[in-house]
Amino acid sequence: MDASSEVWASFLALDDAFARGDVDAVVARFVPDHDLTLWRSAEAEHAVGPEELRRFVEWMTGLAGSFTIAYTEHRVRVEGDVAWVNAQGDATWDDGAGTVKDMPHRVTAVFRRVDGRWLCHTRNGSQPRVVKFS
């Protein structure tokens, strides 16, 4: 498998770990750096460093419902031991109480190869507002 495919597989494995609510798997797919960064759409949805990341994922897994993403487009760029991913697709949020919402979703992520594994350093996901310009 080439490096771009390895990075994309690592990106999808991280998404899968989030969707399953597997705290240890999410944390294991990030670098252990003090400045690792996770940002999502809501202001409260952020973490910097491994301890905040673990607390955030534990909080997130305690929420009812689910959030999944079906990617329709992605780009991976690899430069040595660093890579970045830009991806977009359709997200589905199910609040666990009967409300299901579909929305566009975008992610930018930075990975670093550590001991042969591609680990996430920075991940920013959001749901862009749909704006009509005409």
pLDDT in tens, 63-78: 888 888 999 999 999 9
* Number of compact structural domains in the chain: 1
49 within a domain of the structure (yes/no): yes
56 within a domain of the structure (yes/no): yes
Expressed as residue numbers, the domain containing 11 is 3-126
131 within a domain of the structure (yes/no): no
134 within a domain of the structure (yes/no): no
Q: Taking residues 8-28, what's their average pLDDT?
A: 95
Write down the pLDDT at residue 121.
98
How would you classify the pairing of strands 37-39 and 117-126? parallel
| In the predicted structure, residue 101 carries a pLDDT above the cut 90 | no
64 within a domain of the structure (yes/no): yes
User: Looking at residue 46, which CATH number applies to its domain?
Assistant: 3.10.450.50
Nearest Cα neighbor of 84 from 44, 124, 47 is: 124
Share of the chain above pLDDT 90, in %: 63
132 within a domain of the structure (yes/no): no
33 within a domain of the structure (yes/no): yes
Nearest Cα neighbor of 121 from 86, 84, 91, 94 is: 84
| In the predicted structure, residue 21 carries a pLDDT above the cut 80 | yes
Residue 95 CA to residue 73 CA, distance in Å, equals: 26
32 within a domain of the structure (yes/no): yes
